[in-house]
């Protein structure tokens, strides 16, 4: 379907892309280096108080400029404002900083622009399901343009915390469980926000967060402890951040959590050794909200003074919201407890970003140079992102797609079918529900006759326990030719501080599905949620299951396009779906263990004979009651056609040090529908200095094939793809045998191998 605004080549590029993370643009990093001279010159002119002022970020006043804030900015005691989105107030704040302060240093204006601004994209986890870095880049570019109309020049995104626990509410803001996918999509988002020249109108500084390990919070409880061995930290959790630094990200934010006993906001290993010394990062590091003040609550420090010294010494350049730096750092320098050079280093990182953003040349926002928010181009980007994020999990008897012409009436059931706000998802402070197109609206438009659609809300919210609306819903289902029930979570049930111990469908939604099943009509479930859910109690009750995440402003048209076959679904899971919560954490890139479960060795609880003698002989690493496989694996997603994989080959069975191999496979569309497939490449290092995962994602491509069309897809595997941190924390590539898979999910069994030799 050709868009009214996108050219055909650009539309094709957004629909089908080949991934090459090495193309990440690091122009911002080069721009930071270019301004070193100007930064040093300005530092020499600054007083100690002015320097510490640059390290202070304060919350805005919601459209006004109180006298206290005006005075603080004029006195040089503020370097950044966050959460001010009134353009007149922002320009006035900048005017005070530039025209009334002694040195005229402009302000950074920060805001959480997580998945859109007024126009809302799918939640980041949904964007990850597109496996399309170009649509992620375009979405961030759109969000930057819209945010810039409010004077924002700095966003606290992307969040690239690898997480393998769907109980964690902030999984909604992540790109899922895999470090490679995080790195590719995070770099794409950074390129979208910052562009090739971040000083141009409509470009804003990105911030990779949360550094580091936040996604491993114990029990999935937000803000909780993370215990991650250094080898696991380097081989998994740090990889996306390294990719972000290589992509030229302007800033990083520290994590709320502690890491092996040292909170990230005071962690010298992370902030000095890894980030600055090993990676050479030149941008700024900002704390999370009040995380410096919270160091004493963790029990790392005794009071705010110790907290300020711990954070600044570790490498935090700017304090968000609280004022421990402003109250304590000057006295620490004057007493000799803190070297003045440390302050200069921290402030230099902040000033360098301000110069690179062009704020000294253009501190004010001219909205006439920016497109209006919610325009047709932005809505089309949101629609494409939503469309590509949809993952078809079940489709028994080819229930989908529905035929709009021959399907007489449709019952649309559930509280999420027509709720413009809830489909936007978590963390959308500036999202405009007035731009939302709901599934019910889109279904009615598709059928063209409102009388063919009957909508029954059935439940007040997704958490409702009442069955008072069930009878009407079942009546509507019985009278219809097909039933589409919208299930899931309201947006408030995921996101920061919204972790869940039970990740099944909340309320009595499962009972609603069981009641609708009794109507005997084709039953399609569409799930909107901010996380993977345990769906075992409804999977067998429905004929088709489409996972829509929280799809954003244009979720309705995207869902309708797939339901009625105008588009074939192409989304793939960026995270494993467990059968039950007791399997968590369950993820594809696990270690093999010494007793791996296999179909031949696994024994289910129901298969254990009565009176069987107690024994562990022959038993394996698994749960007796849940098995060792997930409900749906990482990378999984159905289409309206069948893709067949064959003829996997490697360019050479032996690879020399530094050599790049080509791995290829034939992919054929064996059905009668044109569709897009995400072809995935996985590698396993069979023997290592430390044990390696059973599979690791190393590449993917989106390809579109016509019915009957076949194509040979090629991937390059180079030394970097085979490298890992060994037991000495050295990055190494070891000789030995490697297995390679190409397929449509992490469970692909199309495999070949090669051997890496040392000479």
Predicted local confidence at residue 19, as pLDDT: 41
In which band, very low, low, confident or very high, does the pLDDT at 621 lie, cut at 50, 70 and 90? very high
Q: What average pLDDT does this structure show over 164-171? A: 98
Would you call 182 helix, strand, or coil by DSSP?
helix
Q: What average pLDDT does this structure show over 128-149? A: 98
Among residues 161, 288, 304, 430, which one is catalytic?
A: 288
Q: What average pLDDT does this structure show over 360-381? A: 97
- Residues 157, 109 contacting (CB under 8 angstroms): no
Quote the tokens at residue 220: 């999935």
Using DSSP bridges, classify how beta strands 731-732 and 56-59 pair: parallel, antiparallel or unpaired.
unpaired
Q: Measure the CA–CA gap between 316 and 285, rounded to whole angstroms.
A: 5
Inform me whether the pLDDT recorded for 22 exceeds 50. Answer: no
Closest CA to 101 of 357, 377, 360, 298: 360
379 or 22: which carries more pLDDT confidence? 379
pLDDT tens digits for range 559-569: 999 999 999 99
Quote the tokens at residue 404: 């709009």
Predicted local confidence at residue 617, as pLDDT: 62
Q: What average pLDDT does this structure show over 248-264? A: 97
Q: What are phi and psi of 569, to 5 degrees?
A: -65, 145
Q: Measure the CA–CA gap between 664 and 93, rounded to whole angstroms.
A: 56
Q: What is the pTM of this model?
A: 0.96
In which band, very low, low, confident or very high, does the pLDDT at 473 lie, cut at 50, 70 and 90? very high
**Residue count (the chain):** 759
Predicted local confidence at residue 613, as pLDDT: 86
Predicted local confidence at residue 13, as pLDDT: 41
Q: Measure the CA–CA gap between 190 and 283, rounded to whole angstroms.
A: 13
- Residues 272, 285 contacting (CB under 8 angstroms): no
In which band, very low, low, confident or very high, does the pLDDT at 755 lie, cut at 50, 70 and 90? very high
Q: Measure the CA–CA gap between 175 and 171, rounded to whole angstroms.
A: 8
pLDDT tens digits for range 187-221: 999 999 999 999 999 999 999 999 999 999 999 99
* Secondary structure letter of residue 612 according to DSSP: P
In which band, very low, low, confident or very high, does the pLDDT at 5 lie, cut at 50, 70 and 90? very low
Q: Measure the CA–CA gap between 496 and 509, rounded to whole angstroms.
A: 24
Angle of helix 133-148 versus helix 179-194 axis, rounded to 10: 40
Q: How many degrees, rounded to 5, is the angle at CA 396 between CA 394 and CA 402?
A: 90
pLDDT tens digits for range 693-737: 999 999 999 999 999 999 999 999 999 999 999 999 999 999 999
288 belongs to the catalytic site: yes
Angle of helix 555-563 versus helix 439-447 axis, rounded to 10: 50
Burial (CB count <10 Å: 0-12, 13-18, 19+), residue 231? middle
Quote the tokens at residue 452: 């063919």
Q: Measure the CA–CA gap between 466 and 412, rounded to whole angstroms.
A: 19
Burial (CB count <10 Å: 0-12, 13-18, 19+), residue 118? buried
Would you call 599 helix, strand, or coil by DSSP?
coil
Inform me whether the pLDDT recorded for 1 exceeds 80. Answer: no
- Helix, strand and coil content of the chain, in percent to the nearest 5, comes to 35, 20, 45
pLDDT tens digits for range 424-471: 999 999 999 999 999 999 999 999 998 999 999 999 999 999 999 999
Strand order in the sheet with 675-685: 654-655, 751-756, 736-743, 675-685, 696-705
* Secondary structure letter of residue 79 according to DSSP: S
- Give the Å distances, CA to CA, from 726 to 590, 687, 691: 17, 12, 9
Q: What average pLDDT does this structure show over 244-261? A: 97
The counts of H helices and E strands in the chain are 23, 26
Q: What are phi and psi of 377, to 5 degrees?
A: -60, -45
- H-helix or E-strand spanning residue 125: helix 124-128
Inform me whether the pLDDT recorded for 174 exceeds 70. Answer: yes
Q: What average pLDDT does this structure show over 56-68? A: 97
pLDDT tens digits for range 493-539: 999 999 999 999 999 999 999 999 999 999 999 999 999 999 999 99
Q: Measure the CA–CA gap between 68 and 172, rounded to whole angstroms.
A: 37
Residue ranges of alpha helices (H) inside 633-702 are none
In which band, very low, low, confident or very high, does the pLDDT at 615 lie, cut at 50, 70 and 90? confident
Q: What average pLDDT does this structure show over 274-282? A: 98
Q: Measure the CA–CA gap between 466 and 458, rounded to whole angstroms.
A: 9
Quote the tokens at residue 276: 């600055």
Closest CA to 422 of 503, 487, 357, 350: 487
Closest CA to 414 of 363, 373, 370, 461: 461
7 or 31: which carries more pLDDT confidence? 31
Q: What average pLDDT does this structure show over 736-758? A: 97
Q: What percent of the chain has pLDDT over 70?
A: 96
Which domains, ranges and CATH numbers included, belong to the chain? 28-369 (3.20.20.300), 390-563 (3.40.50.1700), 643-756 (2.60.40.10)
Q: What average pLDDT does this structure show over 396-413? A: 96
Sign of the CA dihedral running 652, 635, 502, 264: positive
Inform me whether the pLDDT recorded for 662 exceeds 80. Answer: yes
Inform me whether the pLDDT recorded for 92 exceeds 90. Answer: yes
């Amino acid at each position: 379907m050709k868009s009214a605004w996108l050219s055909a080549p650009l539309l094709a590029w957004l629909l089908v892309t080949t991934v090459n993370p090495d193309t990440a643009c690091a122009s911002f990093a080069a721009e930071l280096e270019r301004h070193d001279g100007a930064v040093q010159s300005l530092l020499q002119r600054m007083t100690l108080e002015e320097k510490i002022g640059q390290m202070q970020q304060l919350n805005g006043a919601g459209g006004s400029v109180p006298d206290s804030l005006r005075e603080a900015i004029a006195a040089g005691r503020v370097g950044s404002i966050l959460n001010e989105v009134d353009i007149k107030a922002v320009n006035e704040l900048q005017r005070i900083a530039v025209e009334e302060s002694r040195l005229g240093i402009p302000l950074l204006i920060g805001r959480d622009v997580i998945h859109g601004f007024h126009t809302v994209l799918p939640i980041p986890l949904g964007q990850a399901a597109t496996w399309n870095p170009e649509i992620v880049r375009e979405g961030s570019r759109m969000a930057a343009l819209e945010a810039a109309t409010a004077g924002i020049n700095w966003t606290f995104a992307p969040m690239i915390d690898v997480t393998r626990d769907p109980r964690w509410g902030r999984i909604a803001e992540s790109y899922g469980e895999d470090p490679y996918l995080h790195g590719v999509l995070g770099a794409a988002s950074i390129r979208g926000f910052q562009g090739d020249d971040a000083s141009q109108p409509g470009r804003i500084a990105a911030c990779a967060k949360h550094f580091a390990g936040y996604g491993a919070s114990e029990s999935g409880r937000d803000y909780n402890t993370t215990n991650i061995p250094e080898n696991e930290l380097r081989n998994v959790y740090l990889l996306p951040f390294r990719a972000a630094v290589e992509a030229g990200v302007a800033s990083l934010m520290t994590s709320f959590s502690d890491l092996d006993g040292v909170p990230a906001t005071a962690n010298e290993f992370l902030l000095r050794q890894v980030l600055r010394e090993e990676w050479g990062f030149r941008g700024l590091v900002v704390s999370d909200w009040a995380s410096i003040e919270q160091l004493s609550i963790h029990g790392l420090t005794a009071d705010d003074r110790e907290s300020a010294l711990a954070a600044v010494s570790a490498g935090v350049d700017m304090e968000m919201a609280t004022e421990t730096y402003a109250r304590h750092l000057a006295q620490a320098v004057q007493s000799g407890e803190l070297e003045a050079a440390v302050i200069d280093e921290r402030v230099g990182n902040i000033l360098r970003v301000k110069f690179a953003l062009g704020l000294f040349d253009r501190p004010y926002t001219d909205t006439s140079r920016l497109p209006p928010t919610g325009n047709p181009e932005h809505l089309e980007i949101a629609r494409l992102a939503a469309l590509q994020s949809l993952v078809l999990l079940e489709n028994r008897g080819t229930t989908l797609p529905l035929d709009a012409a021959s399907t007489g009436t449709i019952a649309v059931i559930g509280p999420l079918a027509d709720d413009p706000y809830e489909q936007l998802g978590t963390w959308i402070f500036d999202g405009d529900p007035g731009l939302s197109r709901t599934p019910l609206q889109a279904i009615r438009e598709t059928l063209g006759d409102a009388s063919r659609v009957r909508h029954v809300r059935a439940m007040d919210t997704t958490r409702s326990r009442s069955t008072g609306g069930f009878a009407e819903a079942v009546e509507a289902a019985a009278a219809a030719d097909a039933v589409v029930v919208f299930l899931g979570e309201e947006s408030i049930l995921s996101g920061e501080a919204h972790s869940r111990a039970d990740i099944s469908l909340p309320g009595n939604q499962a009972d609603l599905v069981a009641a609708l099943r009794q109507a005997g009509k084709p039953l399609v479930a569409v799930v909107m949620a901010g996380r993977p859910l345990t769906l075992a109690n409804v999977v067998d009750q429905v004929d088709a299951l489409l996972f829509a995440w929280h799809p954003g402003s244009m979720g309705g048209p995207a869902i309708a396009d797939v339901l009625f076959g105008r588009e074939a679904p192409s989304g793939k899971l960026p995270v494993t779906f467990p059968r039950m919560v007791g399997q968590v954490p369950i993820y594809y890139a696990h270690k093999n263990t010494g007793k791996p479960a296999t179909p031949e060795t696994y024994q289910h609880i129901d298969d254990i004979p009565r009176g069987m003698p107690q024994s562990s002989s022959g038993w394996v690493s698994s749960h007796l009651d849940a098995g060792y496989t997930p409900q749906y694996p990482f990378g999984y997603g159905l289409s309206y056609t069948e893709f067949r994989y064959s003829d996997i080959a490697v360019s050479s069975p032996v690879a020399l040090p530094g050599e790049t191999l080509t791995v290829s496979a034939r992919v054929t569309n064996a059905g009668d529908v044109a569709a897009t497939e995400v072809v995935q490449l996985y590698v396993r290092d069979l023997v290592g200095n430390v044990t390696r995962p059973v599979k690791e994602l190393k590449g993917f491509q989106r390809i579109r094939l016509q019915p009957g069309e076949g194509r040979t897809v090629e991937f390059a595997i180079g030394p970097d793809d085979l490298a890992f941190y060994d037991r000495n924390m050295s990055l190494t590539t070891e000789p030995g045998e490697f297995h390679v898979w190409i397929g449509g999910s992490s469970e692909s069994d199309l495999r070949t191998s090669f051997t890496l030799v040392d000479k």
